[in-house]
A and B are shown apart, each in its own frame.
Chain A
Amino acid sequence: MGAHPHVGRGVLRNEDPQLLTGRAIFVDDVHLAGTLHAAFLRSDFAHGRLLGVDSSAAKRREGVIAVYTADDLGDYWCHGPLLVPPPPIEGLTFNAATLVPLARDRVVHVGEPIAVVVAESRYIAEDALEDIVVDIEPLPVVVGLKEALAPDSPVIHEFLGTNVAAHAVQQKGDYEAAKAGAHRVLSRKFSYDRGVAGSMENRGILADWNARNEELTVWDTTQAPIPIRNGLADRLGLLQSQVRVVAPFLGGGFGPKMMMFYPEELLIPWISVRLGRPVKWIEDRAESFFATTNERLQLHEAELAVDSEGRILGVKDVFLHDSGAYDPYGLTVPINTQCTLLGPYRVPNYYSEFTAVFTNKTIVTPVRGAGRQHGVFVMERLLDFAAKELGIDRVEIRARNFLTPDEFPHDHEILFQDSAPLVYDSGDYLPALAKAAEMIGYREFLDVEQPKAREAGRRIGIGIVSYVEGTGIGPYEGARVCVEPSGKVRLATGVGTQGQGHFTTFAQIVADQLGVGVNDVHVVTGDTREFHWGTGTFASRGIVVAGSACHEAAIVVRKRILSLASEALEAAEGDLELADGAVRVKGSDLSISLGELALRANPLRGAVAPGAEPGLEATSYF
């Protein structure tokens, strides 16, 4: 058995028995006695003046406990936080318009919540929505991005006086000079449309304020339970330790469940505290299309300047980005586009300018790729067009422009979305592209299959794309590893889980260090009572950041195991090995189980050495 018996091998997943038998708990599976159910009244208008909301009939309906509008929220009504402050780009314009819990004077997108009904059942709550009379004076709607910037366009956020959410220029070298000396300049327009993330499980929240022990428990379909806990404690005036947020099994995340805070996420806990009863809201599919954040529309006008060999001299990209009605997530998406466009290529001169625009549409936040693929799409299409015009093979033109191993570290001289300079530490792209081309039978397809298909009247193609993704981003995650007296291992980490297989992959990492089976490691994620430091699962960072923290913590526990076992077995640490849940003196029958060591590490009597920590437990951060 090598040093890594588990990592890198296909294993049966620890979480599957629960998921396959229907025992896994998703938010809507949590049943608490006395739970009330909420339904939201949402705007049918994309843009309008909210003149009045009459909920008196709804309040009179049997089974309705309460109806709240913006006016009922008092001090709790305010603009939400700006999640990601923009990076310090020189000359940047950024206009923040963050969410409000319920619309007050104006509605700015279809689906914006106006009122919430709380009733004995969801059926009654939805009946009562129809009792509410809303008076909205429709306003002209801002849909197109170019139109939104026209001088005669209606303005969505009057306090800003403009529909510009942001304007940023990042550049490297001198694109215009490069263009002047170019063999050819390709100029194209690209559009990338909106979409929804479409998790199979919609969003949902169950909040339970327990007035006797003054604790709030919230089950939330969030990718970021810890920031939700911290934000709720702040808004509700509670200690962070009085709030427990649980993100149990989630039916997919894909980005929108990373948004903080959705109006419902702020309101349901507040209502539970006010009414002293558990309150549940489960989004339905129709709501999800406009109440959960969307993917992003972008319009690009781009240029590629090349020499006669197809080598890139410079790229210019000017684009419009659709923010939707608010921009609580800052500039993460368009800056991802701006930075990722450069990909694995040597681009000596780059001019990138974007304008983020408010429109009367659902809010745009990161979804699967978070804007990165837009940049990739623009760059790769430009290279395809250049290849065609210059008569160069599409794999070849990419190979000619790849950064080579001797060019690293490579500084793209612009700022990434996390405010750090965009510097690549290392890379060797050509072998990967060559291998991919070989594996998909690229040459054979072009030489044999495609001509044959053409003859048969079938027009089929093959695409070549390269991509360097900024992932594993900070700030940090943590993990706690504990060997229990049963010999089983408990592993807790702060990130939430949405189907990535964390119950297995984190367990594999720890099992390798401690010499136990993967299914001997019991993983807990996304419960702030178990672990309350960290940010969340996004940007493909779970296994990189939280996985590394698991690794670090397991190494510390392993050291403690070896040190205790060395004493117990009267053998040098170097002569010991961990396997099958025990520590053994190599080449002998002498061994002690991890459970026995865990007991010895937590004695009931006697005195431990000064400074010794009890148990086989460690917490680490990465």
Chain B
Amino acid sequence: MKINLTVNGVEHRADVEPRLLLSDFLRHGLELTGTHVGCEHGVCGACTVLMDGAAVRSCLVFAVQADGCELDTVEGLAPGGGELHPIQDAFREAHGLQCGFCTPGILMTLVSFLRENPDPTDAQVRVALSGNLCRCTGYQNIVAAARLAASKMLEVEV
């Protein structure tokens, strides 16, 4: 089936099998391998991307369902290898990652979450990230990084 979609501001046309997962299309079709696949059944959240602004698990979406949509992946956060997005910066400063495999999904979840909740509490961050698994960190620094990101983004807005 033919699809048209925009990923990180770039238009793509492709002819895909109806059963092709969006995660596989992004990773292996467009070679945007920053979106990671940890479980392929919607549990781990590593494959989270934004679809028309909303955080979705790309392993639970078929590529054909993204026809006509605007997608954002982790590669779009700091385009062209330029300055890091404040959320990325915060994760680096607060040591919010270790192996980094789950990180792209967490970053994309937070982009959407912080847009709706610019000044969240720890508890709200924990609920927002309850669909993202991390095996290394124990989550403490991830929550701290999310709060730091929020404060950085609020500063920018002021």
Contact = CB atoms under 8 A, between A and B. Distances in A.
A498 B99 contact: yes
Given A252-B101, A499-B136, A17 B34 contact: no
B51 to A, nearest CB: 17
Interface string A18-37: 01111111101101000000
Contact of A21 (B20, B36, B88): B88
Size category, B interface: 35 or more
A22 B135 contact: no
A456 interface: no
18 contacts: A10-B95, A12-B93, A13-B95, A16-B92, A20-B74, A20-B84, A21-B34, A21-B75, A22-B32, A22-B34, A31-B33, A200-B38, A200-B133, A249-B100, A254-B135, A285-B39, A499-B98, A499-B100
Nearest to B134: A200
B37 A251 contact: no
Interface in B60-113: 73-75, 77-78, 81, 84, 88, 91-93, 95, 97-104, 107
Contacts of A15: 100
A252 B137 CA distance: 11
Interface string A492-503: 000000111100
Contacts of A21: 34, 74-75, 77-78, 81, 84, 88
Interface string A202-214: 1000000000000
Nearest to A30: B33
Nearest to A122: B24
B28 interface: yes
B17 to A, nearest CB: 7
B41 A285 contact: yes
B150 interface: no
B50 interface: no
A445 to B, nearest CB: 21
Contact of B73 (A22, A23, A200, A251): A22
A28 B33 contact: yes
B22 interface: no
A498 B97 CA distance: 12
B48 interface: no
Contacts of B136: 200, 252, 499
Contacts of A484: none
A123 B33 contact: no
Contacts of A19: 97, 100, 103
Contacts of B31: 31
B91 A249 contact: no
Interface residues of A, number: 34
Contact of A16 (B20, B73, B91): B91
Contacts, number: 110
B152 interface: no
Interface of A: 10, 12-13, 15-17, 19-26, 28-29, 31, 123, 198-202, 249-252, 254, 284-285, 498-501
A199 B74 CA distance: 21
Given A20-B97, A20-B100, A21-B75, A285 B92 contact: no
B44 A200 contact: yes
A207 to B, nearest CB: 18
A200 B102 CA distance: 7
B126 interface: no
Closest 5 CB pairs of A and B: A22-B34, A499-B99, A251-B101, A19-B100, A29-B33
Which of A19, A29, A198, A498 is the most central at the interface, judged by chain B CB atoms within 10 Å of its CB?
A19
Contacts of A201: 36, 38, 99, 101
Contact of B104 (A22, A25, A252): A22
Nearest to A499: B99
Contact of B103 (A20, A25, A28, A498): A20
B35 interface: yes
A251 B20 CA distance: 24
B45 to A, nearest CB: 10
A15 B89 CA distance: 13
Contacts of A501: 98
A200 B101 contact: yes
Given A17-B84, A21-B74, A21-B77, A26 B36 contact: yes
A21 B78 CA distance: 7
Contacts of A250: 99
